[in-house]
Structure 1
Amino acid sequence: MAAVLGFGGLTIKDNKIEINPRLPEKWQKLAFHVMLQDELYQITITKEETMICKK
């Protein structure tokens, strides 16, 4: 959970996912799932992009 909230920068505001990533220099990727309002989302963060996909 610390990696998701800290390095992933995950916050939920007004029932919306907000991401402000801060990946450590040596990390290439961080991926995790979030359940929000009975919907499952996959979040993938790389140095180049952040993707939020509804599953």
Structure 2
Amino acid sequence: MDSQWRKSTRSGSNGACVEARYIVGTIEVRDSKDPSGPTLRFDGPAWSTFLAHLTR
């Protein structure tokens, strides 16, 4: 199981950063400026769909 938060390679120096991690079949995403704030959770198929729509 990999539960380490990873910052997006596309994050800039302006503080607008997104972090993600994998936990038991779930991908979690959060704002790095607010680590105790809300987290989005995706299962594998939903994550794939989400990523596919980001590139459009």
TM-score scaled by structure 1? Answer: 0.36
Which structure has the highest helix share of the two?
2
TM-score scaled by structure 2? Answer: 0.35
